Amino acid sequence: ELTKQDGLVENPVFIVKSFDINNQKIGYLMYNGFTNEFDETLNDAFGQLLADGVTDLVLDFRYNPGGSVNSSRLLSSMVFSTNTNNLYIRQRWNEKLQEAFSEEQLADYFADKTGAGTSINTLNLNRVYILTTGSSASASELVINGLDPYIEVIKIGTTTRGKNEFSLTMVDDPDRDGAPFIYTPSREDRINPDNNWAIQPLVGRNENSVGFSDYTSGFEPNIELREDLENLGVLGDENEPLLARAIQEITGISGKRDFTVKTPVKLYTSSKMFAPMKDNMVLDKPIHLNLDLK
């Protein structure tokens, strides 16, 4: 007998481990969704990698459809830097709304603390290796785009989804000052109880520090390698093909490994991709406007 449980949230920090290969300490993190409830868990994972002394990092986003913009900012800070003077991304709305925001509201800088006030564990890397597929979307791609002006981002796998728009949640709360109808957790008791519906419109793009946001065709890999149905391997194992190819690139040791793909996987997916919020890049920064939107 199966019992339904409501409110369960999957921990997206799926695998975190380190490898000692050829006198190099290589970190590996499989992260399956940008879920802000697990930002502290993510920071702890980087604390583990930091304690292990990793000098190179492989981020596995192959099944990561995206999620919280702020979680992507925190993860990028854990990879690169906690210098809060460095611009991570800037929101780009339509012309009318763009003028209604201040620069402070539009810009997101790298972070030195989590939302809970915990100091961020950063590896301060100048290069990162990211495993990607067509299931890597939105906030996963935001990490690639946001880090690209600062460090070398080496993508291994197949082309990403190409989801470069962000959304926000709108509910029946017309009396919120500065941003009517825009969902705010602290105002849940103000939402019309007779209306249980919300909408999640696409409202803009996030551009990186050099103004780039046009990746609707996805990010192509630097090293193309499809998953192979005949040789999927074990996730997190150093012999799993995509991870093994990243390790080969890091160490420079080619050996005799054959990466020939016999039965390529066109798109390896999960039940997440059939959900209404399947690949959203959710803007979770407070919004305040001085416009008459009625």
Per the prediction, the chain carries an average pLDDT of: 89
The pLDDT score that the predictor gives to residue 293 is 47
Contacts of 199 (CB under 8 A, 6+ apart): 169, 170
Residue 273 pLDDT level (bands cut at 50, 70, 90): low
List of domains in the chain: 13-168+204-282 (3.90.226.10)
Residue 128 has pLDDT above 90, yes or no: yes
Structure tokens at 73: 């900012």
Residue 4 pLDDT level (bands cut at 50, 70, 90): low
Tens-digit pLDDT profile for residues 225-235: 999 888 889 99
Tens-digit pLDDT profile for residues 65-87: 999 999 999 999 999 999 999 99
Lowest model confidence (mean pLDDT) among 151-165, 204-218, 246-260: 246-260
Residue 287 has pLDDT above 80, yes or no: no
pTM of the shown model: 0.88
The pLDDT score that the predictor gives to residue 294 is 45
